[in-house]
Structure 1
Amino acid sequence: MKKPAIALPPRPASLVVRDLTVRYGKLLALERISAEIRPGCITGILGPNGAGKSSFLKALLGLVPKEGGEVRYGGQALRGEQVAYVPQRSAIDWSFPATVWDVVLMGQVRAAGWLRRIGPQGRERAAQALDRVGMGAYRDRPIGRLSGGQQQRVFLARALAQAAEIYALDEPLAGIDQPSEAIVFQVLRELADAGHIVMVVHHDLGQALAHFDEVLLLNRVLIAQGSPQQVLQPQVLQRAYGRILPLDSAA
């Protein structure tokens, strides 16, 4: 008698980008970018200032309009609830009168709906996210009274509370202390190891070599994609930055 086939868990999907083009007025920010971003690894998005790194991330997430191209996840159009996004710290109004707990609960708004209370499960998820980044004891602290590293950990907790499939972070390590940096890298590694897609806009080539599994090197166009060891080579970096760079600098 033939044995029934064993049901295997579904394979995690990749994020596939085809011919992505972004323009701000007359400025061409990105031109026909095609890439596949795989689950289960940390993907760094690197390039010089003005290369279109943040525009790439925002266009993937539908935060800025695309002039052309498409973004597909599992063969379907990417949906907002599938993504948790951590913006640059400079884009956030830190004077807004909100506590740490308020900020992390904001990650639950999409799931609960704007006019519905966040239920016990969502609140428990938020509390666990705060504990995961070492900020559980600060839940009643105003967000503006935290250090830069603590603020970034809170926004990472907000992303974790969304329980998304894809995590996209724009310069999450800029201006933060070493303990916070270590926590951020640890959480990103845990997310990748759990099969999530993790994308990080970053500028430090040395850290990219040490912590990222894959790299997209941009300067309006895609210069190279692959492992850090493959991409962060002098001749490739020269194409992106216009000069040879040491791996401890991307200035």
Structure 2
Amino acid sequence: MRDDTDSDGDGLTDREEQVFGTDRFDEDTDDDGLLDGEEVNEWETDPLDEDTDDDGLTDFEEESDSGTDPLDEDCDEDGLLDGVEVYETHTDPLDEDTDDDGLSDGEEVLETETDPRNQDSDRDGLSDYDEVNNHGTDPNDADTDGGGTPDGAEVVTGTDPLDPTDDNPPSDDEYTEDGGYLDGEYSGGKPGCSCSTADDPAPSGLWAGLLAGLAVLGIRRRDRI
């Protein structure tokens, strides 16, 4: 066997392929989209493993598509695998805080269960970070204390978003047509509303009057017979 023979033209000589355990007749032994020679000589990835760092992205996807490091399973060090960010949470695997709210993507997905792509998951006018770290409110509940006023509005007006007794719910004209709160950018519907769409029952006095009228008509008809 000649030292410079490269039977499959992948950039590795047949002798080198024997050393690395790759197939000298297959230019891409692990079928990841990268030539065996590229993996060994350029990327230093494993030519026998399509996903060298086991992050859920093939070496080719990391090199060509996501721009992540095929040797690092969590490029932005946010606690989420690169593959999870690309295919599940749809966050940026190169940015630890995709929505720039102050909480890392990993914190939002694994701890607070907030939306890592939305700075204000419950749309109450407070960022997820502020709710978790400054106000102690629930970043997934627009009205943490259930008093009828969104957390953001309470912070602005100086009431306690953790105490329902001091709530001062906004008047109807302070809501948008779809129920969203104007100042606090709350758009989850009017908090505390228990409005019923069913028709109100007729007053008992009305029913009594109708029955009395029917009785009188019945008496008159009998008198005519």
Q: TM tier, shorter chain?
A: under 0.3
Q: Please identify which structure carries the higher strand content.
A: 1
With structure 2 as the length reference, what TM-score do the two structures score?
A: 0.23
Larger relative contact order, structure 1 or 2 (CA cutoff 8 Å, min sep 6):
1
Task: State the structure with more CA Rg.
Answer: 2
